[in-house]
Amino acid sequence: MATGIEVAVLPVAGMGTRMLPATKAVPKEMLPILDRPLIQYAIDEALEAGIREVVLVTARGKDSIEDHLDTAPELERTLEIRGRARELESVRATRLPPGSVVSIRQQEPLGLGHAVWCARHVVGRRPFAVLLPDDLVAGSPGCLLQMVEAWRETGGNLVAVEEVPPERTGSYGIMSPGASRGRLTEVLGLVEKPRPEEAPSRLAVIGRYILQPEVMDVLGQHRRGAGGEIQLTDAMAELIGRQPFHGFAFTGTRHDCGSVLGTTIATLALALERPDLAPAVRAWAAEHLP
Ligand code: G1P
């Protein structure tokens, strides 16, 4: 029986074009949702799920993501001298244990599948998680921890799925569903960004995956799919029938933080969960919203 997942791949090489000009000089993963950068939500979710090695697949100009996970000696010293204990604690909480972050450059933007494949030597022959930080999944326990617990029973490959409106299938990997049991549905097929009339269902894969290392072998064939890119969805589809493969209906709310609307809603939704912010946000809304 499967035990735990040790290693997570976080693809963070994207240009963040939907968030320009904010992302001209700042990686989209470093834009804040409240007082934490987007990357922090995915990292914390991974740590909660028992992940001990984080592989960042990054790109030129995105070094601030690595800096965020490192120590900041001058800042920490200054906060200490000034007696700012709360702030100091919040900064120290972002530092990962020594040796637990590996960073790899995806030299060319050849697609999500290519980004994941860039992590193959670090992942080795272990099952691994993939978290797309753009997808902020709010809720407790976190989405990946829920998945690891389900995966202990299923083994194989497990992808988080949610229903999307029919007109949105063209933005996602869509699964063809088989038998369901509780929150698990057997995956019979996967297609990347189908037009609504061609979609096998409305069950969309969101950015949380537990995958077997064989997917790296398929990705290594560098076959191009939708949009001319090397697609993770196509490589996963090749494992169906060879290994267990399930979709997992997680509990929680997914926010698309690669878009302005998604980050706006995420900011509001998360603020309403925070005791220090919620009363003032509600008061503002009562006054300004009809
Ligand atoms: C990627 C994947 C897609 C998945 C989506 C989830 O697409 O290719 O299969 O459904 O993430 O957010 P992207 O959003 O990078 O276009």
State how far the Cα of 221 lies from the Cα of 225, in Å rounded to an integer: 12
Backbone dihedral region of 193: left (phi > 0), alpha (psi from -120 to 50 degrees) or beta? left
Asked if the model's pLDDT at residue 161 lies above 90, the reply is yes
CA of 1 to the centre of ligand 1 (A): 30
Alpha-carbon distances, residue 91 vs 35, 83, 98 (angstroms):
11, 14, 16
pTM over 0.85: yes
pLDDT of amino acid 1: 52
Q: Look up residue 173 and give its amino acid.
A: G
Per cent of the chain over pLDDT 70 is 99
Alpha-carbon distances, residue 276 vs 36, 38, 221, 255, 282 (angstroms):
15, 20, 51, 22, 12
pLDDT of amino acid 171: 95
Asked if the model's pLDDT at residue 90 lies above 90, the reply is yes
CA of 86 to the centre of ligand 1 (A): 37
Q: Ligand 1 within 6 A of 112 CB?
A: yes
Task: Name the H helices within 34-100.
Answer: 38-48, 63-68, 73-81, 85-92
Q: What domains can you pick out in the chain, each with its CATH number?
A: 7-288 (3.90.550.10)
* Helical (H) or strand (E) element with 280: helix 278-288
Per cent of the chain over pLDDT 90 is 96
**Which of 28, 172, 201 is the pocket-test mutation for ligand 1 (most atoms within 8 Å of CB)?**
172
* Stretch 82-89: mean pLDDT: 96
Asked if the model's pLDDT at residue 170 lies above 60, the reply is yes
pLDDT of amino acid 3: 79
* Stretch 17-42: mean pLDDT: 96
Q: What is the pLDDT of residues 248-287, one digit of tens each?
A: 999 999 999 999 999 999 999 999 999 999 999 999 999 9
Nearest residue (CA) to ligand 1, atom 1: 172
* Stretch 226-231: mean pLDDT: 93
Vertex 26, ends 25 and 29: CA angle to 5°?
150
Confidence of residue 59 (pLDDT cuts 50, 70, 90): very high
pLDDT of amino acid 2: 64
Q: Ligand 1 within 6 A of 203 CB?
A: no
**Signed CA dihedral, 155, 160, 164, 167: sign only:** negative
CA of 194 to the centre of ligand 1 (A): 12
* Stretch 192-201: mean pLDDT: 96
Q: What is the pLDDT of residues 151-160, one digit of tens each?
A: 999 999 999 9
In contact, 99 and 62? CB cutoff 8 Å: no
Q: pLDDT averaged over the chain?
A: 96
Confidence of residue 290 (pLDDT cuts 50, 70, 90): confident
